[in-house]
Amino acid sequence: MGTEDATAAAPETCPTVDGMPMLGLGTWQNEDPEQCAESVRTALETGYRHIDTAQIYENEAAVGEGIARADVDREEVFLATKIWISNLEPDDVLETARESLDRLGVEYVDLLYVHWPARTYDPEATLEAFSQLYDEGLIENVGVSNFEPEQLEEAIESCDVPILANQVELHPMLPQQELRETCEQHDVELVAYSPLARGAVFDQPEIQEIADKHDASEAQISLAWLREAGVTAIPKATGEAHIRDNWASLALELAQDDIDAIDAIEERSREVDPDFAPWN
pLDDT tens digits along 214-228? 999 999 999 999 999
Q: Is the pLDDT of residue 38 over 90?
A: yes
> Please, which pLDDT band fits residue 12 given cuts at 50, 70 and 90?
low
The reply to whether 6 falls in a domain is no
- Which residue among 48, 57, 113, 121 is the active-site one? 57
Amino acid at 236: K
The reply to whether 173 falls in a domain is yes
Whether 57 is catalytic is yes
The pTM of the full predicted model, rounded to 2 decimals, is 0.94
The reply to whether 43 falls in a domain is yes
Distance, in Å, from the CA atom of 269 to the CA atom of 5, rounded to the nearest integer, reads 31
The reply to whether 77 falls in a domain is yes
The reply to whether 266 falls in a domain is no
Domain count, the chain: 1
> Please, which pLDDT band fits residue 13 given cuts at 50, 70 and 90?
confident
Q: Is the pLDDT of residue 11 over 60?
A: no
% of the chain with per-residue pLDDT over 90: 95
pLDDT at 1: 46
The reply to whether 170 falls in a domain is yes
198 Rama class: left (phi>0) / alpha (psi -120 to 50) / beta: left
Q: What is the DSSP letter of 139?
A: B
CATH number of the domain encompassing residue 236: 3.20.20.100
Distance, in Å, from the CA atom of 53 to the CA atom of 81, rounded to the nearest integer, reads 5
The reply to whether 85 falls in a domain is yes
Give strand pairing partners of 112.
81, 142
Q: Is the pLDDT of residue 113 over 80?
A: yes
The reply to whether 46 falls in a domain is yes
> Please, which pLDDT band fits residue 21 given cuts at 50, 70 and 90?
very high
pLDDT at 2: 41
Domain that includes residue 146, residue range: 16-200+227-252
